[in-house]
């Protein structure tokens, strides 16, 4: 029995089998390169994963919502009225769903009916693979399809970002929600976050695999560290805007930044800006390399990305550094870097097919020896974005 069938069975047990019951999937994402650039007006290059959240839902004839998640059975069935939802920063799974409903109404989308829902996930929470965005897009796609709210997939992503910013207190960019909503099988998304112009780039990896390595160090981004990085970047931008006409750090090329960076008075903010500028340029170059089949050059930029995230943006941690640095030593590893917000979570590596098992074996051994932790591995398959599947 597949995941969606199991969720359907749970739904019928809890809420009954009558009526129009529908099934949905919203993926997580992995970002190949372009980290902490999405809220700095730069480019990102994620792909949707074949891991995420499954949900089964049925429309109600009132404005109540009743939700159950098999991943957190102890929390029981959550019930609320759509009109009573209010922002909080509890970070509980259902807060990410409630935030989306709140965001829809805050932005003028009327939700005339609530729904009953059961949800289950097959991805690790707190691993930096955007479980929260997947949960948000489940809510958005149910509103779009089941409740028939007239909204595009791109605007579903906007609502997810708005809700996480305003309801959950996490000042994230739009990359995670966009990747979950707009993913395409066997492709990554080259997204300009300043304009939301995007291009699907085929992942023509005939002899390589994308391997995600989970450090099993849980990150907690809704706290101060992530929002501090965004504030540092905004402070740097404000000082740069006193001497140059730009809207975002993503507007800068290397020469202009180097010429003008002295106006940034705080050395920490200057480091944050340097990462945002150079990471954006790396991402643009990396996509060109991939299109031209130059994986070696792409891998070198993954390496440089990790170093910048470690040293300039300071969002890595000892465990992520070990995973990346040990990967760089292994023959057949084309590139490896931390992925996601940081402070824990995962690395992403491009590994030649013949080297995948050796990669897992060596990383497992060294990582366990150095940290006492177990690393988990997933082969990333790029999937379609959020939608109805049953």
Residues forming the active site: 176
Centre a 10 Å sphere on the Cβ of residue 84 and count the other Cβ atoms it contains.
10
Contact 336, 309 (CB under 8 A): no
Q: Give just the sign of the alpha carbon dihedral 61, 63, 64, 68.
A: positive
CA nearest neighbour of 170 among 98, 109, 228, 127: 228
d(CA 275, CA 40): 10
d(CA 301, CA 366): 24
For residue 80 the two structure tokens come to: 């609320």
Q: Give just the sign of the alpha carbon dihedral 305, 308, 313, 315.
A: positive
Contact 344, 367 (CB under 8 A): no
Q: Give just the sign of the alpha carbon dihedral 154, 229, 233, 49.
A: negative
Helix, strand, coil tally for the chain in percent (to 5) = 45, 20, 35
């Amino acid at each position: 029995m597949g995941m969606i069938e199991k969720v359907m069975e749970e739904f019928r047990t809890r809420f009954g089998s009558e009526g129009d019951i529908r099934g949905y999937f919203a993926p997580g994402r992995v970002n190949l390169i372009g980290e902490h650039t999405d809220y700095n007006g730069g480019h990102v290059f994620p792909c949707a994963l074949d891991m995420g959240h499954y949900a089964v839902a049925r429309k109600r004839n009132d404005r109540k919502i009743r939700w159950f998640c098999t991943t957190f059975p102890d929390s029981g069935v959550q019930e609320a009225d759509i009109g009573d939802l209010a922002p909080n920063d509890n970070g509980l799974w259902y807060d990410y769903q409630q935030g989306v409903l709140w965001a829809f109404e805050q932005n003028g989308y009327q939700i005339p009916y609530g729904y009953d829902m059961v949800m289950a996930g097959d991805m690790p929470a707190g691993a930096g693979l955007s479980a929260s965005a997947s949960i948000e897009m489940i809510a958005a796609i149910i509103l779009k399809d089941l409740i028939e709210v007239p909204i595009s997939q791109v605007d579903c992503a906007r609502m997810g970002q708005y809700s996480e910013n305003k309801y959950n207190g996490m000042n994230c960019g739009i990359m995670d929600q966009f990747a979950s909503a707009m993913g395409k099988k066997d492709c990554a998304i080259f997204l300009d976050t300043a304009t939301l112009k995007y291009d699907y780039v085929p992942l023509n990896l005939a002899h390589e695999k994308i391997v995600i390595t989970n450090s099993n160090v849980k990150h907690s981004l809704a706290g101060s560290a992530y929002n501090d990085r965004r504030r540092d970047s905004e402070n740097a931008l404000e000082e740069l805007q006193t001497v140059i006409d730009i809207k975002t750090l993503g507007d800068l090329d290397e020469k202009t930044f180097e010429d003008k960076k002295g106006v940034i008075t705080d050395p920490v903010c200057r480091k944050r800006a340097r990462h945002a500028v150079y990471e954006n340029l790396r991402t643009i170059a990396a996509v060109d390399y991939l299109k031209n089949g130059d994986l070696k050059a792409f891998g070198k930029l993954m390496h440089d990305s990790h170093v910048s995230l470690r040293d300039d943006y300071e969002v890595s941690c000892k465990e992520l550094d070990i995973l990346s640095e040990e990967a760089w030593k292994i023959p057949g590893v084309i590139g490896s870097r931390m992925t996601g917000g940081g402070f824990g979570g995962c690395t992403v590596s491009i590994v030649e097919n013949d080297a995948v098992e050796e990669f897992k074996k060596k990383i497992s051994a060294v990582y366990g020896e150095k940290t006492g932790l177990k690393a988990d591995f997933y082969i990333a398959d790029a999937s379609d974005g959020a939608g109805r599947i049953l």
